[in-house]
Structures are given as structure tokens and as C-alpha cells.
Amino acid sequence: MIRHLWPLLAGFTLWALAFILLYALQYLGCYFGWAPAAHRTALVVGYVMSLAALAGALLVQLALLRRRGSAATSLDRIGIGATIAALAATAVTFGPTLLASACI
């Protein structure tokens, strides 16, 4: 099942992992009292890593689509759409980690 569905699941699974990563970075930084500049740097690195992971997944899916040629299924193409949506969702929904107050 997963063998066939992974193109659909990959993007938003990575989005969910990015959510956990960034939330943990935000909480741990506040809990351990990291210096604000170091804390912000960690959040920005986490954000960029999340985008990079999604861009990587998208490239893999595109390469696979090209390799399969006419054997590509509609699931492959829908999966690419889902990963693009997840990439855009990551950029927008986690954007505030770059600017918003982390700790109070």
C-alpha cells in the first residue's frame, strides 16, 4: 500500500516533521534560555532545512516521473502536486518562525 501511496504522503509527512522540529526548537530554546540570536539562528536553520527537505522530495519525484516516462501513473503526478502544496504550506505556515517572538 505505502509502496504505491508514498508520492501522496511524502510532502505532508515532511511538513508534519518540520512542524515537530520547529515547535521543539522553539520550546527547547525558551526552556533552556538560549541567547535570542542563537535561538533565532536555530529556528532559521530549521526552517531552511525543512524547505530543503521538501524541495529534495520534489526533485526526486520529478526525476522518477521523467524516468518512468509513459509508465508513470496519475498517482505520480498527483503526488508531485501534493508535494508542491506541502512546500508552499511549509514556506507560509512556518514563515513566522523567522520573525515572531519566540519566548515571553
Partner 1 sequence: MSTLDPAGPAAADIATLWWVMFWGALVLFALVMALLVLSFLRPAMIASIRPIHWIIGGGLIMPVPILIALLMAALLLGEQLLPKPGGVQPMRVEAHASRWQWQFSYPETPGAATTEILHLPAGEPVDIVVTAADVIHAFWVPRLGGKIDAIPGHTNVIRLQADEPGVYRGICAEYCGEGHETMGFVVEAHSPADYATAIGGAQ
Measured from the CB atom, the residue of 2 and 32 that comes closer to partner 1 is 32
C-beta of 10 vs 94, nearer to partner 1: 94
Residue type, 11: G
Q: How far is the CB of 33 from partner 1 (least distance, A)?
A: 11
CA nearest to 12, candidates 50, 65, 62: 50
Q: For 33, which DSSP code?
A: T
* 81 scored as a contact of partner 1 (CB under 8 A): no
Tell me how far apart the alpha carbons of residues 82 and 85 are, in angstroms, rounded to a whole number: 5
- Which spans of this chain sit near partner 1 (rule: CB under 8 A)? 92, 96, 100-101, 104
